[in-house]
Amino acid sequence: MRRRGRHGLLFLDGHTDFYQPSAEPNGEAASMELALATGRGPAVLTDLEGRGPLLQDEDVVAFAYRDEPESTEAGMQPLPPALHAMDLNQVRAMGIEAATSQALAHLSTPFWTHLDADVLHDTVMPAVDYRTPDGLTWPELDHVLTAALTDPRCRGLDITIFNPHLDPTGTITTRLTSSLHSALSTITAHR
Q: What is the pLDDT of residues 84-133, one digit of tens each?
A: 999 999 999 999 999 999 999 999 889 999 999 999 999 999 999 889 99
Spatial contact of 162 and 127, defined as CB atoms under 8 Å apart: yes
Neighbours of 119 (CB within 10 A): 26
Q: What is the rounded CA–CA span in Å between residue 100 and residue 90?
A: 11
User: In this prediction, what percent of the chain has a pLDDT beyond 90?
Assistant: 71
**Cα distances (Å, whole numbers) of residue 112 to 122, 152, 168:** 25, 11, 31
- Cβ within 8 Å of residue 174, ≥6 positions away: none
User: By the 8 A CB rule, do 118 and 125 touch?
Assistant: yes
- Residue 24 CA to residue 180 CA, distance in Å, equals 31
Q: What's the pTM?
A: 0.94
Helix, strand, coil content of the chain in percent (nearest 5)? 45, 15, 40
Is the pLDDT confidence value at 13 over 60?
Answer: yes
What percentage of the chain reaches a pLDDT higher than 70? 97
Rg (alpha carbons) of the chain, rounded to whole number: 16
The residues with which 11 forms a beta bridge, in sequence order, are: 62, 114
Confidence at 28, pLDDT banded by 50, 70, 90? confident
Per-residue pLDDT, 36: 92
Which pLDDT value is given to residue 70? 87
pLDDT in tens, 29-74: 778 899 999 999 888 888 888 988 999 999 999 999 999 988 888 8
